[in-house]
Amino acid sequence: MKKNNTHWEEDPRFKQCNQEFFATLLLFVFNVVIVLGGSAILGHGVAGENMQMVFGLPAWFFWGGIVATLMFCLTSIIMVIFSYKNMSLEADDHSFEE
């Protein structure tokens, strides 16, 4: 049996959830590229005795593992504060408007 969907309208919360998902996915991809790429560029093929040190840590770990991770933690907090919307998950709640 085929259902008639002529009166179906999409919940605006789906659009907001999709935007939040793609923003989060993009942030994750940038995080992986920057952390792994930065660490690889700074540390790959460098002998231990020639390794640059920053605050007693190898430069690749300091910039890729600590600074980039802190930067992305701060970026994710800012993204949640300014672009995520607080909305009810109840099926009959229509209070969310774009």
The 8-class DSSP code of residue 7 comes to: T
Predicted local confidence at residue 27, as pLDDT: 92
Answer yes or no: is 24 within a domain.
no
Answer yes or no: is 91 within a domain.
no
Answer yes or no: is 60 within a domain.
yes
Answer yes or no: is 58 within a domain.
yes
* Positive/negative CA dihedral, 57, 58, 62, 65: negative
Predicted local confidence at residue 61, as pLDDT: 83
Answer yes or no: is 75 within a domain.
yes
The 3 state secondary structure assigned to 50-94 is HCCEECCEEHHHHHHHHHHHHHHHHHHHHHHHHHCCCCCCCCCCC
> Domain of 68?
29-45+52-85
Answer yes or no: is 80 within a domain.
yes
Answer yes or no: is 5 within a domain.
no
Distance, C-alpha 56 to centroid of its chain: 29
Q: Which amino acid does the sequence have at 11?
A: D
**20 CB neighbour count, 10 Å cutoff:** 15
Answer yes or no: is 95 within a domain.
no
State the total domains in the chain.
Answer: 1
- Render pLDDT for 33-80 as a digit per residue (tens, 0 to 9): 988 888 888 777 767 777 788 888 888 888 888 898 899 999 999 999
Q: What is the mean pLDDT of the chain?
A: 81
